[in-house]
Amino acid sequence: MGMMNAAETDLDEKAIVAAAESALADIAAVRTEVGKVIFGQEKVVENTLIAVLSGGHALLVGVPGLAKTKLVNTLGGVLGLDANRIQFTPDLMPSDILGSEVMDQDENGRRSFRFVKGPVFAQLLMADEINRASPRTQSALLQSMQEYHVTVAGQRLDLPAPFHVLATQNPLEQEGTYPLPEAQLDRFLMQVDVDYPDLADERRILLETTGLAEEQAGTVLNAGRLMEIQKLIRQMPVSDAVVDAILSLVRSARPGQGNASTDKHVAWGPGPRAGQALMLCARARALYEGRLAPSLDDVHALAEPVLQHRMALTFAARAEGMSVRDVIAGLVKQARN
């Protein structure tokens, strides 16, 4: 019987390796198609795709006009997902996102209520400038991100599967913005910072997007295949060394855990969700980079997008001009040594 179990394990491992190799090919094709339309920004594309492959939501932070919306539209097409977009404004109401009940009257004059679904009923939802809406409206979206269903007039309605929110946020402290509360930021698997393109990429943007014909990205996956890959990522083995690296990195970012630099600069650190995010994202990054198992490099590369929105600096550290990114870079450096 023991031999039988060992053979079964081998079979399982072989099946997982075969499935992972087929996923590698699919992910490589996704990268190629996205690259036809989004120039440069490799890190942004990589981290956003890793968040989706891991089954989570991502917050894209950058000034206007850096193709954040275009990236999300492109991903929806390439991944074969049903996509919707909401432009968040200060007067947006929860019902504008979730949907609302309307009254119908039939030919006999009988009246009844019918629920009209809002834009949240999509597989890929783009929430543009999420910090411009009121906290009440933000919470309606963030609840659906956490619970994958909405409740309207006491009735539970499940959201489509898969369900991913890619939200964008303007980092400029403009008037009329409501910063997302910390507990709501924690709902995002990653915060992806979008910077200005470098010179060569910007030159290509100028030349290729101002002519008559613009390159289009083709569809590579569909929702069913994406969910298979997401399931596979959860089955990928993670070595003890990688698990230990995740734990020590996350714990070193919390004050009171024996890290002198953190005790001095960090007011509060990441909770267990950060570790969960690193476990999933490290596996997805390995596949994205063409490997079958996550490494310490994956953990270190993902530290910033996974941790930066889950911790805050002390007033003294902010007064010194430090940023959360500086602190995380220091922790990664310590971990590498």
pLDDT recorded at residue 22: 85
Is pLDDT above 50 for 147?
Answer: yes
Contact 152, 101 (CB under 8 A): yes
Contact 253, 311 (CB under 8 A): yes
Average pLDDT of every residue of the chain: 85
pLDDT recorded at residue 2: 46
Mean pLDDT of 78-105: 87
Sequence-ordered list of residues with C-beta below 8 angstroms from that of 79, at least 6 positions apart, any chain: 30, 52, 124, 219, 220, 221, 222, 223, 226
Helices 296-307 and 272-288, packing angle to 10 deg: 130
Q: Which amino acid does the sequence have at 184?
A: Q
**Which residues share a beta bridge with 312?**
268
Taking the C-alpha atoms of residue 175 and residue 19, their distance in angstroms, rounded to an integer, is 49
Taking the C-alpha atoms of residue 282 and residue 286, their distance in angstroms, rounded to an integer, is 6
Mean pLDDT of 282-287: 93
DSSP state letter for 197:
P
Q: Which of 143, 148, 152, 142 is nearest to 160 (CA)?
A: 148
Taking the C-alpha atoms of residue 315 and residue 277, their distance in angstroms, rounded to an integer, is 27
Is pLDDT above 70 for 291?
Answer: yes
Mean pLDDT of 175-190: 80
Q: What is the pTM of this model?
A: 0.87
Q: For the CA atoms of the chain, what is the radius of gyration?
A: 22
HSE-CB at 293 with a 13 A cutoff on CA atoms is 11
pLDDT recorded at residue 301: 93
Mean pLDDT of 302-313: 92
pLDDT recorded at residue 7: 52
Mean pLDDT of 166-171: 86
Would you give the distance in Å from CA 158 to the centre of its chain?
20
- Give the confidence band of 268 by pLDDT, cuts at 50, 70, 90: confident
Taking the C-alpha atoms of residue 148 and residue 129, their distance in angstroms, rounded to an integer, is 21
**Which residues share a beta bridge with 86?**
127
Is pLDDT above 90 for 244?
Answer: yes
What percent of the chain lies above the pLDDT cut of 70? 95
Is pLDDT above 80 for 211?
Answer: no
Is pLDDT above 50 for 1?
Answer: no
Where do runs of H (alpha helix) occur along the chain?
Answer: 2-37, 42-53, 68-79, 94-98, 135-147, 182-185, 199-209, 223-235, 240-252, 260-265, 272-288, 296-307, 315-319, 324-336
Is pLDDT above 90 for 298?
Answer: yes
> Across 63-72, 134-143, 274-283, 311-320, which has the greatest mean pLDDT?
274-283
Contact 313, 285 (CB under 8 A): no
Mean pLDDT of 290-316: 91
Backbone angles phi, psi at 90, to 5 degrees: -60, -25
- Give the confidence band of 194 by pLDDT, cuts at 50, 70, 90: confident
Mean pLDDT of 230-259: 90
> Across 65-69, 87-91, 173-177, which has the greatest mean pLDDT?
87-91
Coil vs helix vs strand at 290: coil
Q: Which of 251, 236, 253, 239 is nearest to 296 (CA)?
A: 239
Mean pLDDT of 117-122: 88
DSSP string, 299-330: HHHHHHHHHGGG-EE-HHHHHTT--HHHHHHH
**Which residues share a beta bridge with 243?**
none
Taking the C-alpha atoms of residue 194 and residue 52, their distance in angstroms, rounded to an integer, is 17
Contact 133, 110 (CB under 8 A): no
Mean pLDDT of 126-132: 88
